Structures are given as structure tokens and as C-alpha cells.
Structure 1
Amino acid sequence: MTAAAPIPEDTVGRLYAELRRRAADFEFRPSERLNESQLALRLGASRTPLREALNRLVAEGFIDFRSGQGFFCRPLTPEIIFNLYEARAAVECAALRAATRRASDADIAGLTAYLDRTEAAYDRATDPVALLEMDEDFHARLCALAGNPEFDAMLANISGRIRFVRSIDLKQMRAADSIGERLSAHRDVLQALAVRDGEGAVRAMQAHIEKRREQAIEAVRNAFADLYAPRDPAP
């Protein structure tokens, strides 16, 4: 029997990237069953690479699989978001402790210079997606100072899974004109890190993340209002 030809990785990768984006942005509504036939048609793909991409997303927590029922969008509840924020705090604080020991003065100065360069653009931005991308980039760069790619991978996964709610949160912050408060929190973390005050950096990070976590219930409520507003059919 002739073995089946392997699926090109670029095909699966393309589907994975597109489906991850849709899942992160809750273009599939919470707990909605995913219609594989419709997805395959919309994405111009066959069922086999589509299913491989979906299985990757199940492993990463972006969608759920129920035996005998199929694939479903993950649920969205305050409890789930709370747990993800708690996990994010644990990862970022562990990375900060490691960065206190491992990051060079030049690396820390480089991240401070990056914050200096981007501060004006961050303060002016009105698009929640642009704000979110800049904020995620700062946290990813900060995490990378630990020199541990496992921390980087865990933070990237958690950031993707809270991305939609964080965009709602940032929209609320922009409306309340409190973006400067978020930037000052970034500086507090860097200033403590620069003098190798690991516990001071951790306290600043915990306060920064936990303050946002406290807004999870309101953010989820507002997220549902956005999710169930009338929308154009997906292309």
C-alpha cells in the first residue's frame, strides 16, 4: 500500500495562523461549534490539514474538542480570564527574577531606551489593536531578558488567549484616559530591574497585572456586548 503523501507544513501553518487569529479574536463565538465543512470552504483547504491545524489549537487551549461532537470555540467567563491573568503574573514574575540575575546592564538599558522611543506613539494611539500590540511587545521583550525561551513560549500562549479581553480593557483605559498610568507601571518595573531589585520589580509587575485582572468581569461583560453585536458574515 502506498503511504499517503505528507501534508505540506506551509499549508497547515497557514491554516493554523488564520484559525489562531480568529480564535484569539473570538470571531468564533464562545462555545460555538465549528463547522469544519464551512471552514474548509472559506479557507480554501481540505479537511485533513484543517483538522491538523485545529488539533494544534486544541493543544494550545485556543479551542476545545468534545469527543463525538467536534471542535468548539473556547468559552469566555470571568473565571477563565482570572485564571489566565494569574498564570500570566506567575510567568512574568518568574521571568523577572531570572532577568535580575541574568540580564546585562546593556540589555536593561536597551529596553528602557525602547520604552522611551515608543512612549509618545503609545500615548497617542487610539486603536485598541495598536495599543495591544505595543503593550504585548514590551512585555515580550521584558520576558526575553530572562534568557529562557520556555518563559517566552508560555507568555505568548497566555497573551494570545487573553488578547480579546485585553483589547476591550485597553479600549476602556483609553476612554478613561489612563494610558499614562500603564506606562508608569512599565517604568516602575524597569527601574527596579536596573538596580537589581528583583523583588521590587516583581511587586511592581504583580500590582500592574493584578490591577488589570480586577477589571476582568467588566471586560468580559463588555466583550460579550461586542461579540453578540450584529456582524458582517465572515469572508
Structure 2
Amino acid sequence: MIAIGLMNVVGSATSCYVTTGAFSRSAVNNNAGCKTAVSNIVMSVTVMVTLLFLMPLFEYTPNVVLGAIIVTAVIGLIDLPAARHIWRIDKFDFLVMLCAFFGVIFLSVQQGLAIAVGLSLFKLLMQVTRPKTVIMGNIPGTDVYRNLHHYKEAQRIPGVLVLSIESAVNFANSNYLTERTSRWIEECEEEEAQEKHSSLRFLILEMSG
């Protein structure tokens, strides 16, 4: 990373192209068992010899053959367990991932990435103006509080409502947070009444962001 950064810094002063490495090339190196940067030297020499002396042999190679090589190399980059994990954690992030995936496949790399970046910026704006609020529960036997929806062992303390605001509080979201907190209090009081527990007495706001 330091070497790539240094090359881009120096190259920017001499009108050079951006120095980078394609995912497909990295995948090919990984599948070939490459472990160090020495593999790039071997690859450079091989490409140079091919361009100078072997190009006539590849002149009539169909593009589908080259495409098959790339697909075979990058198929391992698709991480289905990671996609399932994103689905469980944040549905909107999963939507961004799908838009980027299908945008790159059916449109182009630039358009697919542009769609993903645009959706990510929209999510950031939504997080600022409508931050997520969750009820926190205590992990039995500890002083740790976690999201009730993510941790089955977490338990809410009767008479106490602990809300976590997962964003900074500012003028853009103050009204929304006031309304959302009021709704949480009403829902909590209804649950307490149905379960015949003590009425809600304390509201604790966790605003570490």
C-alpha cells in the first residue's frame, strides 16, 4: 500500500495514469499461489516476452476465452457468507451491495459503482436526519447492555427504558428524535401495563453514537 501510494504521489506530478491493481489480476495471482511481490516481476517479464514474440499466436483468440479466464479467476471473490451476514445486520447495506453487483454486471463498472456510492450517500443523509434508535437490554450477570433484537439473551429491566441513539444529535434530527422517543415511551408503557409490571419510571439515553 505504501508503494502504491508513493507511485501515485510521484506519478501525479508527471501526468501518469493512476497506479492500481485489478481485482481479476489479484485473483489470478492468488489462485496461482503467489505470496510476495516477486510474482509481479515474473508476470511483467512474461507479459513482455508475450507481447514481443508470441502475439501472432494469440491474434485469433476469441474474446469469450479471455472472458472465461477472468470469470474463473474472480468467481472466488463472491463471498456468500458475507452477504448473508450483511443481510442480518443491515438490510439497506444489503440493498446497496445488490445494486452494485447487478449494476456492474448489466451496466458497467463505473455505473455500478456510481449507483452504490449514490445509495451510500443517501443512507448517510438518512442516518443524520433520521438516526436509528434501539432498545438496549442487560446481559444477565454482567454490566453490558446490547440491542434486544440482536442478542436473544439480553433482557429489559422493568420500569427502565434504555434507548441507544446511533448517531450524533443535532438540529437536523432533534424533532425526529423527540417524536421517536415519545413513541418508544408510549409503547413501553403499554407493554408494562399488559405484563402487569411496575410502570415506566426511568428513561436512559445512550448517545455515544
How would you bin the TM-score normalised by the shorter chain?
A: under 0.3
Between Structure 1 and Structure 2, the one with more helix by share is 1
- Of structures 1 and 2, the one scoring higher in RCO (CA 8 A, sep 6+) is 1
Structure index of larger Rg:
2
Per residue, is there more strand in 1 or in 2? 2
TM-score of the aligned structures, taking structure 1 as reference length: 0.23
TM-score between both structures, scaled by the size of structure 2: 0.25
